[in-house]
Amino acid sequence: MFRDYLKELNEAQQAAVINTDGPAMVIAGAGSGKTRVLTYRIAYLLQQGVPAHRILALTFTNKAAGEMKERIMNIVGPEKARSLWMGTFHSIFARFLRYDGHYLGYKSNFTIYDQDNTRSLIRAIIREMKLDDSVYKPASIAARISHAKNNLITAQQYGAVPQITESDKASRVPEAANIYRHYAARCFKSNAMDFDDLLMNINILFRDFPGVLEEYRNRFDYVLVDEYQDTNYAQYIIVHKLSEKHRNLCVVGDDAQSIYSFRGARIENILNFEKDYPDYRLFKLEQNYRSTKNIVNAANSVIEKNAGQIRKTIFSKNDEGEKIRVIQTTIDSEEGIVTASDIIDTRMRERLNWKDFAILYRTNAQSRIFEEMLRKRNIPYKIYGGQSFYERKEIRDLIAYLRLIVNPDDEEALRRVINYPKRGIGDTTVQKLMELARALEVSIWSVISSPELSARHLAPALRTKVSQFTGLMLPLMAVAETATAYDIASGMASASGIITELKQGQVPEEIDRLENLQELLNGIKEFTESAVTNGEPADIATWLQSVALLTDQDLEKPEDRDKVTLMTIHSAKGLEFKYVYIVGLEENLFPSAMNIFNPRELEEERRLFYVALTRACRRVTLSYALNRYKWGSLERGSPSRFIGEIESEFLSYPQTGGKPFRQRAVFEPLPGTDSGEAARPLTPPAKMTRLRDARDRQPPSAVPGPSQAPDYELEEGDRVRHERFGEGVVVSVEGEPPNTTALIDFKSTGTKKLLLRFAKLTRI
């Protein structure tokens, strides 16, 4: 039966599927059928008699894992594939830690903290340490802790690394090490791990308990890793350790799509695979099935400029397709008019759905202009990566109750719900309970649920209040392991008083909150019924873990499916659309001004542009504005270098009849735009004329005003401070104002070449 499926593959794909022994790397170009190859390789292993439970497949999204497992089941049958170890890094390693976390002192019912939980706890610690939260920003401190954990630096080690402490001092957060220590201790006391802990603790487990590592090495004969270019150091070490014995490791990815270094991803993991496994086999999937020839060739002409890459030649056998259109606008708001009008016109002409269109941008802030214009034109749209269903207050409130049922030591969950709905247990009382719990070296729940401790340490009035709270929690805690997730959740929603509280609301927002809660219970009901049908765990702990580990791509709602998508390019990776608009293609915006002087960072910006181009199936439109508002001032811009890196034969300029633009703004109607709206500027003609005259009198780039004037008198040897890079020493200064650049050696981040008018340097 499986032979029929092999016939669906091209020669390169077949080779990647059937050569299963030893280390292998599959370099899968954009749209080359990567998921199919990974799926069929696993199915092939199963067909060859490898037991499903001997195969470990690691992905980055639950959606990818679910789709692959479903396809595998369709090929080999549900029974043969049921016990596959397939899931995201975090979900698989959470399972490992449920079994063996006790070696590290964790109970099996530990809570998984998401980003909101982490920041909330860090915010509380900052407040308790009496630090300025405008300097010690919770999101920034959380990012520092995350970066440390991804590099396997524990709270105990953090303060002993000179480069880190110097960087913290330069960034005016010298107490970051102490915050990390408090945060780690509080998580451990609450029997909680954050996402990064799931990776770091597996590494600690394998390092400190060789017998446990040996057990997992013996458990899996084959390890497969999807999107290997996105792995960080912690993931790299885990994969290496698990596959070191049998060496049947297959990694699949594309170095040209490595765009997540800010999350800790290391492109070196894929570029250096050959050094780690000298006897590896390399398979290149170079045929793009997604895009037209013009799009593929244009993308190739850009990415070939990168030095750090595994060379390959991506090709397409699809139609030639349209050339990539380049659109120039006079001002940024005009870009929204052009894009909205073109979407309407193309949709009507081609009889398409709204979901066939995507607007991609470099930064989230760019979405505003396009949102406003899409609303004005009654175009339905969704912002990808906006607030998810599970981030709404009423949802988080009920989930906190459910977390507490499973893990009573979860301090963050208890603090959230002990006085919601109101029970007369205010913040001051909660703070006293926290201090008492620390003094007794127990959790808050241990204090309030123990008759002996309550009688000894709590006033009678407070005992009465907390006993009401423990009284509603204890009955559900007693049946948490035996009852279904739905029975627990619906019982908690009623017993807690949340439903009663929301039913009393009369305004539309409160009615929406009640409906959201009902939708959550509907989702838990579906989970329960599906789990029971498939013979899988249907308890509340299993549901909580599945929700805690959801990724952005797992959260699409049915009502969002036929809408224009607005998203950052980082969020777009792995997706595809028929028509793609890449907007804001201006120098210092894309590529980012922060990355243009560092060759390594510039190469990642180029890979990001490559990812954007290769999301499109039929047509790509590139647009930029010659003038853009920044901090209330109109600044003149220039086209991104990436447009110029595309070979001219793959580009078209519909506004000029095919001729490339001169630097001066020329704005003609797009062919076929309805009512000529795309040709009309947002401002009246007279005002636009004045704007153009003013623009023509400006220097090539806007120079900061006196209040933020750059110091062009820097000299070699001067010590300076930068907001992002910390302290550094000037190595050399070149050029004349306003284009003066300085080469600066920063202690924590290395040498950077900065344009002084943008650098915002402070002399020390």
Neighbours of 44 (CB within 10 A): 20
The reported pLDDT for the residue numbered 551 is 65
Residues of the chain with pLDDT under 70: 1-3, 385-388, 505-510, 551-560, 631-632, 662-712, 736-739
* Residue positions annotated with a catalytic role: 34-35, 226-227, 257, 615
Q: In degrees rounded to 5, what are phi and psi of residue 637?
A: -125, 180
DSSP string for residues in 610-631: HHHHTTEEEEEEEEEESEEEET
Tokens of 547: 């929700």
Pairing of strands 633-636, 627-630: antiparallel
Angstrom CA distances, 764 to 169, 174, 335, 721, stand at 13, 18, 42, 7
Q: Provide the edge-to-edge strand list for the sheet that holds 719-722.
A: 750-755, 741-746, 726-734, 719-722, 762-763
The reported pLDDT for the residue numbered 505 is 67
The reported pLDDT for the residue numbered 530 is 85
Q: In degrees rounded to 5, what are phi and psi of residue 748?
A: -95, -20
Tokens of 669: 């109607």
Cα 229 off chain centre by: 15
The reported pLDDT for the residue numbered 671 is 39
Instruction: Please list the residues that pair with 627 across neighbouring strands.
Output: 636
Pairing of strands 741-746, 750-755: antiparallel
The reported pLDDT for the residue numbered 552 is 56
> How far is residue 194's CA from residue 256's CA, in Å, rounded to a whole number?
30
Instruction: Please list the residues that pair with 750 across neighbouring strands.
Output: 746
